[in-house]
Structure 1
Amino acid sequence: MASNAPVGKPTDMSAPRLPKVAGIDSTVPAPPHTTAPLPGVPPAAIPSDAALPPGVLIQDRLASWVSDLTTLHELTERLIKTSSLDEALREVLGAGAALVGARRGMAVLEPADGLGPTSTIGLGLAHADLGTIETVPRGSGSYGRLLDGLPDAGPTAPGPSSARPARVPEPIAIRDVRTEEGLDPRHREVAARLGYAASYALPLATEEAGGLGAAVWLYDEPAEPDERRRHLIGLYGRFATEHLARLLQVERARARVATVAEELLPSRLPRVPGVRLAVRHLTGPQGGGDWYDALPLPEGALGLAVGSVSGTGPSALAAMGRLRASLRAYAVMEGEDPVAVLSDLELLLRLTEPARSATALFAYAEPAQRRIVLAGAGHAPPLVVGDHRTEFVETSLSAPLGMLTCWEAPSVELSPAPGETVLLYTDGLLRRTGDATDRAFARLHAAAASVPGADRSDPGAVADHVLRTLLPGGLDPAVEGEDVVLLAARFA
């Protein structure tokens, strides 16, 4: 008895297909509509087998389009989650490799306006490999030609001509390095050494964002992406450029804020007999109001201060600068009485910054006598680290400056033993740990107690050990949060 055979698709439709790369099936042609469903999608050749059912062709092509759109959506979703330029460039390299069918590549960030920052990121290439590629004359390498032809961002001069959009260079494909005409011999030599035979370079540029850099992907064999892959990488590249432009603006703003913050703080610590100083200052992305100071005072004395102004950004930095400058003046006039210094500072804050509050700690130190008198306003207590003890200084609980109509708190006195280090720090050091306050204090105490004996003679090494222990991953500049200040004073 004959069995009914299932109805199948034509032979060329049921033949095995090449594997997809990141959801892209390069063997499926685009549909021959008079009006393309996706603007700019390059048309594909109509299959020679005209006997294929139209419904099957349309269904297969629509499925291919959905696959492409899904792939682009997934890749762009991953890209927008990046928060730093290097992280974004690595994501662009990985996504681009999947789209063009390569396994190695290099991205160069070099904004055409010349304001930086610049960086080079590799995919599947060691640092030495990147250096080898950079020995190729710039005009011979595809990415170098793109960088030299990148447009500047924004108008450069007033007038109608400045409003015209800049031309974005076309991608450069080198199908076979060995046979490509016009290449520098050094280019062929480097390609042979690194084992790549072809490349595809894409400018990271748009008319709106200007030129930011270029990416190049390397093939192990002579090859180049087909028209469909070029279209997809072009769409992704334009999106990536806009994202990189936003990150570039943020990075430049952070750099400006960090520069202003550093200019408002001491450029170097003073040298005072009997004490060695070291400081570590880590700034968040928006720049906070944390500050420190160390100033020589009459008769061999030393004034040490740390503090934090509420808020972030330029206004907090300006308030911090004014407060620090005022404290220096008060310390010179009445530094022997830390309570008077902070009382004057509190009055100034209420008169000039009524909407702000601040924490502060001021210590009047006499290194020759190893004597310290200090007072704090809403500030964490100092920590004494030595061979025989690691303990917090007992200070009275007091409100931050600007919180009460009249601030006053008693001062305390301590006498560090020879070789002991006194740590002054801001609350950001505790809060950046992510722990509750009591747990953060316990962790700080344990970190200070675990300083190796060989490092205790160096206040900088003590500060570094405490920071590494409390913040093993460092202070991520992309994460919102408070600044961190750690001032260490080791007494002889």
Structure 2
Amino acid sequence: MLDIPLLVRVHLDALMAAQIDMGVCDAIQQNRPVGKPTAMSAPHLPKVAGIDPAVPPPAHTSAPLSTSAPVPPTGPGAVIQDRLAGWVSDLTTLHELTERLSRTCVLDDALNELLRAGAALVGARRGLVVLEPADGLGPAVTTGLGLAHADLGHIETVPRSATPYGRILDGLPDADGGSDLVGEAGSGGSGPDPRHREVAARLGYAASYALPLTTDTGDRMGAVVWLYDEPAEPPERRRHLVGLYLRQAAEQVARLVELDRAHTRLATVTEELLPSRLPRVARVQLAARHRTGPRGGGDWYDALPLPEGALGLAVGSVTGSGPSAVAAMGRLRASLRAYAVMEGEDPVAVLSDLELLLRLTEPARSATALFAYCEPARGKIVLAGAGHAPPLIVGERRTEYVETSLSAPLGMLACWEAPSVEIQPAAGETVLLYTDGLLHRTGDPMDRAFARLHAAAASVPRAARDDPGAIADHVLRTVLPDGLDVAGGDEDVVLLAARFA
């Protein structure tokens, strides 16, 4: 039996495991040591956002005790093991970066993460990604890392034939990236475009490294470029690693682009189904605020002039989300307009007709609605609600909810009917109609959400009470401090303000 030293056995075991698990036999053959073997390098530290971090030498306060420290073993096994450790470290870094990118749900967040991770891989501090899908359907986005908006504007002034980035994608290689040293043109007339050098001097970068953002199917999504303060180029190992990362990033970006397009189309359809402008009626000022959730909901509002100087105001919400809910919302709103023109002075009859239509045409769907018949000349409002939140009156002397009777949503009972309520807003008072999406977005229980809405309306500054739009904006800012675009805000929001003179 052969007596094999333990150290050699460890190296052979590591090599065999790497060959079996990683499939790097060809790489080992290609990178076999030539000439005198070198000593094993320092172990690689765990990395999250970069590779090959510098390992600082130990700071000695006194001379070493002995100069005969053991020398690390040298030999082919040590070199191969060191290289295998480097490959494992690179794969770990790549896995962590792609996993972090996969957790992004918004296109802008994905582009920012792509820039940060790529900058760490290629050793740059600044960069930009230009999103210009080849199909021309958009969205066209330019996002910078370490670059102000004005800096991006300067880069976008470079002619398309001068550089492969900054909304200038012509000439960028299909697969491999390219480095660009910014300096004086060569004697033969080659070199960067003069405009390119001018912008580089203004922004203070001396070199760039650009890569296309292309999916596995060959669809060009855009380009990414990183900028260096000094003439530099990432080494081959880092170029290979960032290329692998961008292949995964392009797929994630393509998915988020499709999602963004779907949200945009749905929001556009929803906005087209709502009033493009509010009517002008004597003694009434109107303002509306509406925001569709990311999944597309069925909240709506309406304001239409009626005979004899009257005004009809309506808000409502259809159950469900997505295109089907948006389509149902459009049909319901159009039907309510017709009923309001025929018998708007009786809000109960309007909602009864609407309930019958909903039960016959869409038996699996329910809806809430509130319709108000306003006579500004008489200072009178008659309203009825079907499972809807009560209006809120805001004025100098009072801020209170209108007491409406409890009623079921439309489509919930065999025959809907509820009594109407008459109110008389004073001159200068504003009536707020809203959907329950505003309350749900607070994240509070309904009683606390109503209290928050009441407190927001009561705190409207005196200077803003003459403008219904300012009142609506103040209420939204107070009730939803994080804004309407906060992540996770799935509910639609509708707020309709009518100020009576």
Shorter-chain TM-score range? 0.7 to 0.9
Task: Tell me how far apart the structure 2 counterparts of residues 135 and 143 of structure 1 sit (CA, whole Å).
Answer: 11
Counterpart pick for 1:37 among 11, 15, 23 = 23
Counterpart pick for 1:295 among 301, 304, 326 = 304
2:391 equivalent to 1:404: no
Counterpart pick for 2:320 among 311, 331, 347 = 311
Distance 1:178 1:255, change over 3 A: same
Counterpart pick for 1:174 among 154, 177, 180 = 180
Task: Tell me how far apart the structure 2 counterparts of residues 308 and 237 of structure 1 sit (CA, whole Å).
Answer: 43
Give the C-alpha shift of residue 207 in structure 1.
4.1
Match of 2:56 in 1: none
SS of 1:324 mapped into structure 2: helix
Q: Deviations over 1:124-182 (max 9, x none)?
A: 111111111122222111326972357xxxxxxxxxxxxxxxx9343111145446743
Task: Tell me how far apart the structure 2 counterparts of residues 40 and 408 of structure 1 sit (CA, whole Å).
Answer: 80
2:459 equivalent to 1:450: yes
Task: Tell me how far apart the structure 1 counterparts of residues 107 and 295 of structure 2 sit (CA, whole Å).
Answer: 17
2:362 equivalent to 1:359: no
Contact 2:184 2:191 in 1 (8 A): no
Letter in 2 for 1:77: E
2:363 equivalent to 1:377: no
Letter in 1 for 2:154: T
SS of 1:148 mapped into structure 2: coil
Task: Tell me how far apart the structure 2 counterparts of residues 179 and 36 of structure 1 sit (CA, whole Å).
Answer: 46
Match of 2:67 in 1: none
2:317 equivalent to 1:331: no
Counterpart pick for 2:236 among 223, 227, 232 = 227
Give the C-alpha shift of residue 64 in structure 1.
1.3
Task: Tell me how far apart the structure 1 counterparts of residues 24 and 287 of structure 2 sit (CA, whole Å).
Answer: 61
Task: Tell me how far apart the structure 2 counterparts of residues 149 and 295 of structure 1 sit (CA, whole Å).
Answer: 55
Match of 1:25 in 2: none
Q: Deviations over 1:277-299 (max 9, x none)?
A: 00001011121000111011111
Matches within 5 A, 1:479-490: 479=488, 481-490=490-499
Counterpart pick for 1:68 among 71, 90, 107 = 90
Match of 1:320 in 2: 329
Match of 1:437 in 2: 446
Counterpart pick for 1:285 among 294, 297, 315 = 294
Contact 2:472 2:495 in 1 (8 A): yes
Counterpart pick for 1:465 among 465, 470, 474 = 474
Name the structure, 1 or 2, with higher relative contact order (CA <8 Å, separation 6+).
Answer: 1
Counterpart pick for 2:258 among 249, 268, 280 = 249
Distance 1:315 1:304, change over 3 A: same
Task: Tell me how far apart the structure 1 counterparts of residues 419 and 153 of structure 2 sit (CA, whole Å).
Answer: 61
Match of 1:83 in 2: 105
Task: Tell me how far apart the structure 1 counterparts of residues 24 and 431 of structure 2 sit (CA, whole Å).
Answer: 67
Matches within 5 A, 1:418-437: 418-437=427-446
Aligned length: 447
Counterpart pick for 2:224 among 212, 215, 220 = 215
Task: Tell me how far apart the structure 1 counterparts of residues 162 and 21 of structure 2 sit (CA, whole Å).
Answer: 40
Stretches of structure 1 that go unaligned for 5 or more consecutive residues are 1-7, 9-30, 151-166
Q: Deviations over 1:415-466 (max 9, x none)?
A: 1111111000000000011111001001101111111111111101111111
Task: Tell me how far apart the structure 1 counterparts of residues 137 and 431 of structure 2 sit (CA, whole Å).
Answer: 42
Letter in 1 for 2:488: V
Task: Tell me how far apart the structure 1 counterparts of residues 21 and 490 of structure 2 sit (CA, whole Å).
Answer: 51
2:177 equivalent to 1:185: no
Q: Deviations over 1:332-360 (max 9, x none)?
A: 11111111111111111110010000000
Give the C-alpha shift of residue 475 in structure 1.
2.1
Distance 1:80 1:132, change over 3 A: same
Identify which range, 401-410 or 65-74, moves more after superposition: 65-74
Distance 1:207 1:168, change over 3 A: farther
Task: Tell me how far apart the structure 2 counterparts of residues 55 and 418 of structure 1 sit (CA, whole Å).
Answer: 91
Task: Tell me how far apart the structure 2 counterparts of residues 288 and 37 of structure 1 sit (CA, whole Å).
Answer: 50
SS of 2:360 mapped into structure 1: helix
Give the C-alpha shift of residue 193 in structure 1.
2.0
Contact 2:159 2:168 in 1 (8 A): no
Task: Tell me how far apart the structure 2 counterparts of residues 39 and 281 of structure 1 sit (CA, whole Å).
Answer: 61
Task: Tell me how far apart the structure 2 counterparts of residues 346 and 40 of structure 1 sit (CA, whole Å).
Answer: 73
Give the C-alpha shift of residue 96 in structure 1.
0.4
Stretches of structure 2 that go unaligned for 5 or more consecutive residues are 1-6, 8-16, 39-73
Task: Tell me how far apart the structure 1 counterparts of residues 472 and 25 of structure 2 sit (CA, whole Å).
Answer: 59
Identical aligned residues as a percent: 73
Identify which range, 172-181 or 328-337, moves more after superposition: 172-181
Contact 2:127 2:144 in 1 (8 A): yes
Distance 1:172 1:364, change over 3 A: same
Task: Tell me how far apart the structure 2 counterparts of residues 144 and 40 of structure 1 sit (CA, whole Å).
Answer: 39
Matches within 5 A, 1:46-195: 46=33, 48-50=35-37, 52-143=74-165, 147-148=169-170, 168-178=174-184, 181-195=190-204
Match of 1:11 in 2: none
Task: Tell me how far apart the structure 2 counterparts of residues 386 and 400 of structure 1 sit (CA, whole Å).
Answer: 29
Runs of 4+ in structure 1 off by over 4 angstroms are 31-36, 38-45
Task: Tell me how far apart the structure 2 counterparts of residues 39 and 355 of structure 1 sit (CA, whole Å).
Answer: 62
Distance 1:417 1:41, change over 3 A: farther
Letter in 2 for 1:171: G
Contact 2:129 2:166 in 1 (8 A): no
